[in-house]
Amino acid sequence: MPEQPVTEPQDSQEEEQERGLSQRIGARQDAIAGAPAVDGPAAAPRGPREAIFGLEEVQVSYGPKPAVRGVNFDIGKNEITALIGPSGCGKSTLIRCLNRMNDLIPGARVEGKVRYHGQDLYAPQVDAVEVRKRIGMVFQKPNPFPKSIFDNIAFGPRVLGMKGSMDEIVERALTQGALWDEVKDRLKTNAFGMSGGQQQRLCIARCLAVNPDVILMDEPCSALDPISTGKIEDLMMELKQEYSIVIVTHNMQQAARVSDKTAFFTVELDDEEHRSGRVVEFDDTEKIFTNPADPRTEAYVTGKVG
Amino acid sequence: MSATSEAIQAAPTSRRAKDTAFRLALMACLGVSILLLGVLLYDVVRDGVGHLDWHFITSFTSISADKAGAQAAIWGTIWLMGICAIFIVPVGVATAIYLEEYADNERWYNRLIEVNIQNLAAVPSIVYGILGLAFLVRGPLSLGNTVLAGGLTLGLLVLPVVIISGREAIRAVPPSIREGSMALGATQWQTIWRQVLPASIPGIATGVILALSRAIGETAPLIVVGAATVIAFNPEGLDSPFTALPIQIFSWIQRASNDINDYRPLAAAAILLLMIMLILMNSVAIWLRNRYEQKW
């Protein structure tokens, strides 16, 4: 995808908004063919950053009852947005509808508006495969392919038909994934021989190799030890210079350490004992953890419940 | 305190006796089958090993028992297996992919197909022979009593086995691999072709070999589709008449033996040959599984 600059010019805000961003949005509108730009209050930038995702009354259901509903917030460019909350609150469900991974689950239904650069992600003419090319995902458990380290990285660029030297693409992705120095001498060995933390960084590098715009991370450190977790957190801080990141985490310290914005979810029981998730509060991470508006958020982040 | 330890120590003798009796019964059952197998093997080896030589493999069958060999049957069997494999691999794998990756289990027709495949695996082989006779040898395809018709009939017979084992191999690839691939922007077809299939090839290959090792011993369907019993030439093309090892064995056993010509040792030798081929095929299957099977 040559139209997509790997490094955004880090100029002043105005300049960036005038030049780099409009270019980038233009490229994207061409790419996701025919998707109408939806104008609405939720698509407007919130604060100084431009919104990459605008979520408006989003509700996801696997069957008759919603798994998560009432989601209204924007996800900003070059920010790390954390989704926190107790188990079963729909964080993972929500993150999976940002790159249409829920399409793969029979019976999954998304209502409301999910806007990506102002375009309705669920408009009928939008191709889910095109969406996933731009919005990468890292999963809870490292899921390297049963292939060599090189082929793990090269798989995405190959299926997308990316031009250029595959060696360079692989080296760049592994360098960005902070893995190059550890694996450069064994690129041909099977990825299953790596440690869990290395495997997860390989999965991040694999996702970077296709030049995504956004990286979604669904509890990326839940299967890792604290040292590997630290490495991935450092990596995330670096990556947000170029990418926008959404992370689901159970680890509140992690959310507090790495994220710029935090959405707190909770579980609600209806009259028939059906559990569904709902967003309680969305704000700057600092505010969520020091001065939350909602008492439920405070109880959760201070460890009184959950 | 003492009551507790007493209760733990005192194992009721009746229960222990039942345990032992049950274990002995199980071992007796195992013993019966192993003993039967042993007797059978001993009998066949004693009768046949003397005949199993280069002459036997390279000669055609003959009225004279001393001159007779199984060359036509060996080549017939090889042709049948080749045709069978060429037929079952694409059809079986494609069906398995459809059922595992595309079919929506909520739809009645997909459930119907599934139940049918399970049932087809249990249909007696003679029924497939009749099917082959009606649809391949005569009827719509009218292939005649040819090696092609024989191979396809055997293929139909073992197709359910290939489909079922193929589905298991495909199902063994964890969903996380598919998700990882799709999340990179690969299409479903790219995901299947480049991730799921390569990872499940060892399992599929094992299933194909085991299916062929079932087909290699089938006799009844071949008789129905008209395998020749006495021919003195190898198949030369798909439209050749043919015989096969099990048919040859059947034919030798059927033939009346006398003091001059005893055909029974020939049958025993052919049985040994068939068993050697079977063991070789199964060994390849086991080797494949151990060497290439992916541990997740």
Cβ neighbours of B71 (radius 10 Å): 18
Report the CATH superfamily, name and number, of domain A13-301: P-loop containing nucleotide triphosphate hydrolases (3.40.50.300)
> Residues A9-20: pLDDT tens digits?
444 444 444 444
Residue with tokens 């698509």: A43
Which of A145, A156, A207 faces B177 most closely, judged by CB atoms?
A145
- Phi, psi angle pair for A234, to nearest 5°: -60, -40
As a whole number of angstroms, the distance between CA A232 and CA A221 comes to 8
Taking alpha carbons only, the member of B114, B155, B164 closest to residue B131 is B155
Distance of CA B179 to CAs A99, B198, B280, Å?
Answer: 12, 16, 38
CB contact under 8 A, A104 and B174: no
Residues from chain A contacting residue B195 (CB–CB below 8 Å): 145, 155
Q: Which of A4, A97, A129, A141 to mutate to test the interface with B (most CBs of B within 10 A)?
A: A129
The pairs formed by A26-34 with CB atoms below 8 angstroms and a separation of 24 or more are: A27/A3, A28/A117, A28/A119, A28/A134, A28/A213, A29/A117, A29/A119, A30/A3, A31/A1, A31/A3, A31/A130, A31/A134, A32/A116, A32/A119, A32/A126, A32/A127, A32/A130, A32/A131, A32/A134, A33/A125, A33/A127, A33/A130, A34/A125
The domain ranges of chain A are 13-301
Residues 6+ apart with CB under 8 A from B220: B124, B125, B126, B129
* Residue among B104, B176, B185 minimizing CB distance to A139: B176
- Integer Cα distance of B122 and A163 in angstroms: 52
Using a 10 angstrom Cβ sphere, with 0-12 exposed, 13-18 middle and 19 or more buried, the burial of residue A263 is buried
Q: pLDDT-derived band of residue A155, with 50, 70 and 90 as boundaries?
A: very high
Domain boundary assignment for chain B: 13-48, 54-292
For the segment A244-271, what is each residue's pLDDT rounded down to a tens digit?
999 999 888 999 999 999 999 999 888 7
Task: Return d(Cα A203, Cα A216) in angstroms, integer.
Answer: 12
Q: What's the whole-model pTM score?
A: 0.80
Say how far apart CA A297 and CA A184 lie, in whole Å. 45
The pLDDT value given to residue A13:
44
Per cent of chain A over pLDDT 90 is: 69
Contact between A160 and A132 (Cβ < 8 Å): no
> Cα A257 from chain centroid?
17
Q: Is A143 on the interface with B (CB under 8 A)?
A: yes
Amino acid at site A201 = R
> Mean of the pLDDT values across residues A176-187?
93
| Percent of chain B clearing pLDDT 90 (strictly above) | 65
Evaluate whether B207 touches B167 at the Cβ level (below 8 Å).
Answer: no
CATH of B54-292, one of 3.20.20.70, 1.10.3720.10, 3.40.50.2000, 3.40.50.300: 1.10.3720.10
Alpha-carbon distance A106 to A63, whole Å?
9
As a whole number of angstroms, the distance between CA A83 and CA A90 comes to: 10
CB B180 to CB A145 under 8 A?
Answer: yes
Closest residue in B to A140 (Cα) is: B176
Indicate whether B259 pLDDT > 60.
yes
Q: Indicate yes or no: CB of A143 within 8 angstroms of CB of B186.
A: no
